[in-house]
Amino acid sequence: MTTQDKIAAAAARYGVPANIALAVARAESGYNQAAVSSAGAVGVMQLMPATAAGLGVNPWDEDSNIDGGVRLLAQLYSRYGDWSYTLAAYNAGPTRAGQGPDAWPAETQVYVPRVLTYAGMAVPDPTQPYPSGQDEWGGWLGAETESQLGQPDNMGLLLLAAAVVLLLA
């Protein structure tokens, strides 16, 4: 079974669209289990060891890493009900994501549209604000270049913050 097949199977298990889970893995590691960020994030889904421990998975094992990362996506989507905010929380942590796009770090403002693009999903138009109470937003999209869109992201301490918030919630 390929890495992409394992991601698709985990996505089906947790009710996450496979295109989203595959796009996150592509952005995070390029589907590379051997990837380790400078901050210590590990594997295909770039889980920090503390986040992995909170999820009860071994980040060094590909199957376990994928299971934990996709399960985290499902948990975050359950909280936000919106894939853009879910991706922001996966990248910047739930606290930052919940503060809205204007509070997101520049990296996250590039990461969210990158993953949505990889997933073949529409990216919100930054010039068109959405009505209040909707799950989308306007006016936040940073200026990213085509070369930035192809670069993997490392989540570093961001997943640790996500795990702490999830554990305390």
Active site residue 28: yes
Q: Which residues pair with 42 in a beta bridge?
A: 36, 47
Dist CA 149 CA 158 (whole Å): 20
The answer to whether 78 and 65 are in contact (CB under 8 A) is no
User: Pick from 93, 103, 106: which is nearest to 50 by CA?
Assistant: 93
**79: three-class secondary structure by DSSP:** helix
* Annotated active-site residue in 28, 136, 144, 146: 28
Give the pair of three-digit tokens for residue 141.
């999209």
Which residues are annotated as catalytic? 28
